Chains A and B, each alone.
Chain A
Amino acid sequence: MTRAKSPTSDLARLRSLYDQITEEGLCTRPGVDPDHWFPDAEPAGNATTQRRFYEQAATARCAGCKALAACQVTAEVEERADLMLHDCAPHGIRGGLAPWARFERLLASNIAVETDKEEAA
């Protein structure tokens, strides 16, 4: 099975995504509080209600952002590298997603990649 080429395979493209985020992102407008996107602490795993609130806040913060897709892609790339190289879990709101949601996505995609490799082998 052949997978489509990853959209972030070339660096220039990734850079243009970053440019889009800095130009159009709601979180990069002047005067916004970075604490809204990267709060000091995130709710723990068993605080389900607080997690739900957090997710609602995340979707609300990023609603209508033009750079949402770019943000999700860059977040995935960065956080995958962080996770694999430094064992750093995602944190903060990116692409309208809570960190645990992104973490699950990463795990899922990682599993997909690994199964691909197994199939190819």
Chain B
Amino acid sequence: MTPSALFGFAATAFAYITANPISSAVIAAIALAVLVGAFLGGRALFRIGRRWWTGRPTEDAMTIVAASIATGVSAQGMWRFSGDVLGFSGPLQLLLFAFIEVAMVTSAVRARRNMRENHKAGVDGLAVWALTCLSAVLSSMDSASFPEAVFRLAAPIVAAWLWERGMAIERQRLTGRTRINWRMTPERMLVRVGLAESSDRTATEVDTHRRLTRVALTAKKARALREAGASGNKQARALAKLDKAMDRAVEHTGLVQDPAKQKRMLAQIAALYNTAELTKVEAPAFWQQPKEPSGFDQLALETSRMNERLEVRGEIREARDEMNEARTEIREAMANLVPLVALATGGRVVGRSVVRGGLGGGDTVRGDTGNGASGGAAPAPKPPVTPRVTRPVSRAQKTVSRKQNGLRRGTPTQPSREELERRIKWLHDLAKTNPDMDVTDLRDKAVEEYGVSTRTAYRYIEQAGLAPSDTDPGDTPRDTAGDASDGTARDTPDGPTPGAT
């Protein structure tokens, strides 16, 4: 556009605006709205495209773009056809010219969906090709020259081919199969150039790793047994296992020659030996700021520690007092016992001891060894007997965890949460339908229905809100014999039950 023409346009526009300002304002507003709409629409399209693009290879997007171009070309052929042969013109032509192309794209999309859902393109995949051929033949029949006919034939077929390929990508991603096994994948190219390295391991490497790990594990077991002071047999067995694992590692992994493998194994063993340290790892949560304890906190901590110490000390003192009391009681009892023993055996009492048969030596029944002075007449006091200390036997910790209740013999399975809720609801309904039932009746019903203990039945009743959950010692229902008509022991609540009435 030349500057003069531009100037002329501007002058005309200015004249129009001054002539009718209202309509020009409306036009300007509409134009602005259109601009904003176009911007928003473009941005949304861009975002959708970007979201679609991420995580997909380039050839996917390229395929879509190329297929769209080829479809455009074939649609142009159909435009010519609809204008020349069918005589469409104006809006009718605009509306109808590309119906085959639209149908083709629709079929392609449907085929793709079929592929996703049924892993087969089905009839829609066939329809793509049929529609393509139709479009190609129609648009080529309208062409003026032979080269144009060939071109018109080719364009839709290229489009269909690209749609088909786009679907093949989908198929491959879904089924994991490819029709062609490419020897030159991008990954392989990168690996070959040396930019990438295949991270996966072959079975041999996995095997090597496992053998080394096995050595580490058996070493850990042997050490644990030794530290726990297990029996010799067990230790010997563990050592034999370790020996075997080590033999195999040496034989099959080249452990002796490869310092990297040795290092790896040692690292594993070190990690396994120091598992206990894991319990001491202090990992503060991310919302907890690492802060220095303030002086006040430290003071409080120290105080609480001191209180604990004092408490322990007081407990020790109490225990000591109790022990002394018990000792004096025993002493008194023995003092009472000594004359009786003397009477029974016909001996005589020497101080607090009994000398049997009146002989000076021999065995004595000693009444008291509290202070070691047991009467001057007692000859040859025995050396004080040191009490035999039995140390608690330390055993290796069980490696198996505790079984669940239902799996242990003799323990009933705990009901699941749902089951528990069901039971509680049942009790609730029962109490509602029979308002004259009291807690004991409910308890009996629950015991009958579910075979639980009375205690558990009470728990259910509590949870159903039919009895006060925080019962005082006086409130708890007690068993009283002969309460029921059939002579069985029944419970009578002491107070009124608010929930059951």
Contact = CB atoms under 8 A, between A and B. Distances in A.
A88 interface: yes
Contacts of B200: 22-23, 28
A55 B108 CA distance: 50
B192 A25 contact: no
Most buried by A among B194, B204, B248: B204
B188 A16 contact: yes
Given A82-B254, A88-B252, A91-B252, A27 B203 contact: yes
A28 B203 contact: yes
A81 to B, nearest CB: 10
Contact of A28 (B191, B192, B202, B256): B202
Contacts, number: 60
Nearest to B258: A86
Interface string B169-208: 0000000000001000001100110100010111110110
Interface string B361-385: 0000000000000000000000000
Which 3 residue pairs are nearest across A and B when measured between Cβ atoms? Answer: A27-B203, A22-B200, A38-B207
A25 B202 contact: yes
Interface string A5-47: 0000000100110110111010110000010011010000000
A74 B181 CA distance: 21
Given A16-B191, A27-B202, A34-B206, 8 more contacts: A15-B198, A16-B188, A21-B202, A28-B202, A38-B210, A86-B256, A92-B204, A92-B207
Contacts of B203: 25, 27-28, 34, 37-38, 92, 94
B257 A34 contact: no
Interface of B: 181, 187-188, 191-192, 194, 198, 200-204, 206-207, 210, 248, 251-252, 254, 256-257
A90 to B, nearest CB: 9
A85 B257 contact: yes
A88 B202 contact: no
Interface centre among B252, B254, B256 (most CB of A within 10 A): B252
Contacts of A18: 198, 202
A116 interface: no
A78 interface: yes
Contact of A19 (B188, B210, B257): B188
A22 B197 CA distance: 12
Given A19-B198, A25-B203, A78-B204, A40 B248 contact: yes
Contacts of B206: 34
B254 to A, nearest CB: 6
A34 B210 contact: yes
B77 to A, nearest CB: 44
Contacts of B188: 16, 19
B252 A94 contact: no
Contacts of A16: 188, 191-192
A96 to B, nearest CB: 13
Interface string A66-103: 10000000100010001001101001101000000000
Given A37-B207, A38-B207, A91 B251 contact: yes
Contacts of A66: 181
A34 B200 CA distance: 14
Nearest to A74: B202
Contacts of B201: 22, 28
B191 A15 contact: yes
Contact of A22 (B194, B202, B256): B202
Q: Which of A34, A85, A91 is the most central at the interface, judged by chain B CB atoms within 10 Å of its CB?
A: A34
Given A12-B192, A16-B191, A34 B207 contact: yes
Contacts of A27: 202-203
Nearest to A21: B202
Contacts of B191: 15-16, 19
A12 B25 CA distance: 72
Nearest to B252: A91
Nearest to A67: B202
A52 B194 CA distance: 42
Contacts of A28: 200-203
Nearest to B199: A22
14 contacts: A12-B194, A15-B192, A22-B198, A27-B202, A28-B202, A37-B207, A38-B203, A38-B204, A38-B210, A38-B252, A85-B257, A91-B251, A91-B252, A94-B204
A86 B255 CA distance: 10
Contacts of B204: 38, 78, 92, 94
A22 B251 CA distance: 24
Nearest to A17: B202
A91 B211 CA distance: 13
Contacts of A40: 248
Contact of A86 (B181, B187, B198, B257): B257
Contacts of A78: 204
Contacts of B202: 18, 21-22, 25, 27-28, 74
